Amino acid sequence: MRLDAAIVGAVERLSPSSESARLDAEILLCQSIDMPRSYLFAHPEDELDTHALDRFEALLQRRLEGVPMAYISGTKEFWSHELLVSPATLVPRPETELLVSLALHEIPQDAEWQILDLGTGCGAIAVAIAGERPLCNITATDVSAEALAIARENIRQASLPNVSCLEGSWTTPVTGRLFNVIVSNPPYIREDDEALQSLRHEPLSALVSGADGLDDIRVLAVDCISSLIENGPLMMEHGPDQQEAVAGILNEAGWAEITCHNDLGGRPRVTVARRSGK
């Protein structure tokens, strides 16, 4: 079969379940023949040998089962870093770049601050901040040893000596330390949310947080206070419908200046609160 025909056939099969059927088909085909995408446009008439055709079919099957492209290719781009991901890590989302940009806004270019990223997964937020603020020290934690192994590899590949990883639940691994800024994209999906069906290939422990999706945010709201300097911000991503609940939890726990920020789609996604000086 010719390369162009293989793409047409794959697009037809992928279209009902993927919004990016053509791109998916091209990337999977490139992975099957071990060539860059430009090769497909330069040599559409090339014939696929049986081995490549078998590989392509196997990759297509995984995609048709709903496996995210990032798990099939093993990488995902985030804040211009090509990051390794695995089924032990969430696939970093573009909306999480809002949390990164708010954190960078908070951290002066020449600051030599201590930054904490809780629940780092593949290390996306920590790597992005560390690359932009080389004088800061970033501590990245996760309860999953498998996720941390991926994060460590991403940190190594990005040549970032200013990030260290610690395993443990939320602030437990940093007990007694003080940070200038804490960032977190914790699990925040309700355990009965229908959206989980389409996220079934990602780790539940990275996504789900109790009946209302707020169990981990409740823990962070209480525990992070003693890990921040006075006026230091806690910056957390949450679901677009959780703005009021998150503000209520933070208010109850004694945080000041609670402000919510919208993503590019205008949906409230990141709440920032400061450790009160009082």
Element containing residue 73 per DSSP (H, E): helix 69-73
Least distance from ligand GLN to the Cβ atom of residue 51, Å: 36
Candidate list 7, 28, 102, 147; residue touching ligand SAM; CB under 6 A: 147
Question: Given the complex with ligand SAM, which of 33 and 155 has the nearer CB atom?
Answer: 155
SS3 category, 81: strand
Binding partner of 199, given ligand SAM, ligand GLN, none, CB within 5-8 angstroms per partner class: ligand GLN
Taking CA atoms, 92 is separated from 13, 99, 225, in Å, by 26, 12, 26
Burial class (CB in 10 A: 0-12, 13-18, 19+), 40: buried
- Count CB-CB contacts under 10 A for residue 82: 12
Choose among ligand SAM, ligand GLN, none what residue 189 binds, the Cβ cut-off being 5 to 8 Å by kind. Answer: ligand GLN
Q: Which stretch binds ligand SAM (CB under 6 A): 25-33, 89-97, 153-161, 266-274?
A: 89-97
**CA–CA gap between residue 151 and residue 153 (Å, rounded):** 5
Give the full edge-to-edge strand order of the sheet including 137-142.
Answer: 163-167, 137-142, 114-118, 181-184, 233-237, 268-274, 256-262
Distance in Å, CB of 123 to ligand SAM, minimum: 8
Least Å from the CB of residue 206 to ligand SAM: 4
Triad 101, 140, 163: Cα angle to 5°: 85
**Strand, helix or coil for residue 33:** helix
Of positions 59, 100, 102, 206, contacts ligand SAM by CB under 6 A:
206
Smallest distance, Å, CB 102 to ligand GLN? 16
Residue 134 structure tokens: 């080389």
Length of the chain: 278
186 is an interface residue for ligand SAM by CB under 6 A: yes
Number of amino acids touching ligand SAM (CB under 6 A):
20
Which residues lie near ligand GLN (CB under 6 A)? 93, 185, 187-189, 199, 207
Q: Which stretch binds ligand SAM (CB under 6 A): 113-121, 158-166, 221-229, 264-272?
A: 113-121
Residue found under tokens 């330069």: 42
Dihedral angle of Cα 90, 94, 95, 98, to the nearest 10 degrees: 110
d(CA 267, CA 21) in angstroms, rounded, equals: 27
Q: In angstroms, what is the minimal distance from the CB of 91 to ligand SAM? A: 7
Q: Does 213 bind ligand SAM (CB under 6 A)?
A: no
Binding of ligand SAM at residue 169 (CB under 6 A)? yes
Q: Which does 170 bind (CB under 5 to 8 A by kind): ligand SAM, ligand GLN, none?
A: ligand SAM
* Residues making contact with ligand SAM (CB under 6 A): 90, 92, 96, 119-121, 124-125, 141-144, 147, 169-170, 185-187, 205-206
